[in-house]
Amino acid sequence: MSKNKKRSTLSYTSADSLPLKLLYNTEIQEFKPVHIQWLPTNRCNLNCPSCSCKQRNKSLEMKLSTALDVIENFAEMGTKAVTITGGGEPLMHPYIVEMIKAFARNNIKIGLVTNGLRLKYIPRDVLELLTWCRISSMDDRSFSMGYAIDLAEVVNAKIDWAFSHVVTPNPNFETIKSVVEFANRHGFTHVRLVADLLTPDQVDSKFTSIRQHLKGLDEKVIYQPRNKPESCHSCMIGYIKPLVAADFKMYLCCGVQYALKEKSLDLPEELSMGTALGLDKIYNNIEPQKTACVACYYTQYNHILSSMFEGLDHKEFV
């Protein structure tokens, strides 16, 4: 693995791996909302068959004035980073530019996850307020010439660019190759190929054939099959990396829609921590959240966070 590819893996990979970011960040021990997941709108300009949020209320989106107040409150609590994502397509929110500027004004580093279709409408100076942008791609979508031309006009903005491509049980080799070739031409940090979360067991075996198809082109490709998720009945990741939904309810993680035995494909009320309109109530009563999750991709996170919360016996014996 090249040095650059290894750095990309360490920088972007969180779930499915040893959570090194916890070990390097002393603020985590204070259980602050260091990194928030921000879902400004449930509206979307696509209707992907493999979408894990199919059952959401698609008309729901944040009111700007309330969003600006909540951003200020998170900043005061010590938030250092935000990933703006969906829900839906975050760039569909009519005031997304104002939200990006508000995060930047509060010295919160910004990552954006988008399907890329509306990037051309975001002013260059606003794009360059981002730290990184990860463009979502999937087997259900083609990588058309028109789309590639539009992307080429924006990806020279001076931030880190990456693709995350969802692989289904029937890989679209043509689209995957087009995505990788585009990333190679335009200096992307990496292309992450990841299994569809709704059918991970059917996808992992497909990576061998994809490697063969991309032979000689995949220097920047990170093959990330899904580890078998474990059940979780005590969760703490929501305190340091909460998901803030379009109605400002806070959830334990970005995977709650497929965490329960019956996949809700929405944000299940039983995995809500409360509301971002009442952060003091949440953070003045920190304790492990009891859950019935059967599919947790943050098990290692929760093990470490529980140890930090409860303390370790004989910690001198490293």
Kindly report, residue by residue over 4-52, the tens digit of the pLDDT: 555 555 565 555 555 666 666 666 767 899 999 999 999 999 988 777 7
Q: Lowest mean pLDDT: which of 28-37, 99-108, 275-284? A: 28-37
Burial of residue 309 (CB within 10 Å: 0-12, 13-18, 19+) is middle
pLDDT in tens, 72-97: 999 999 999 999 998 899 999 999 99
289's CB contacts (< 8 A; 6+ apart) are 234, 235, 236, 238, 252, 273
Q: What is the distance in angstroms between the CA of the first residue and the CA of the last residue of the chain?
A: 30
Domain membership flag for residue 103: yes
265's CB contacts (< 8 A; 6+ apart) are 51, 52, 53, 54, 55, 56, 257, 258
Domain membership flag for residue 31: yes
pLDDT band at 303 (very low <50, low <70, confident <90, very high): confident
Owner of token pair 């054939």: 209
308's CB contacts (< 8 A; 6+ apart) are 28, 29
Domain membership flag for residue 318: no
pLDDT score, position 203? 82
More confident residue, 106 or 302: 106
Report which residue type is found at 260: L
pLDDT band at 284 (very low <50, low <70, confident <90, very high): very high
Range of the domain at 79: 3-12+24-310
Domain membership flag for residue 135: yes
pLDDT score, position 23? 65
Number of structural domains in the chain: 1
Tell me: pLDDT of 121 over 90. Answer: yes
Tell me: pLDDT of 305 over 70. Answer: yes
Domain membership flag for residue 62: yes
Report the mean per-residue pLDDT for the chain.
Answer: 88
Domain membership flag for residue 316: no
Quote the CA–CA distance of 231 and 261 in Å, as a whole number.
10
Output the domain CATH number for residue 57. 3.20.20.70
Taking residues 196-201, report their average pLDDT.
74
Domain membership flag for residue 17: no
User: And the tokens for 296?
Assistant: 């947790």
Domain membership flag for residue 82: yes
Report percent pLDDT > 70 for the chain: 88
User: And the tokens for 196?
Assistant: 């569809």
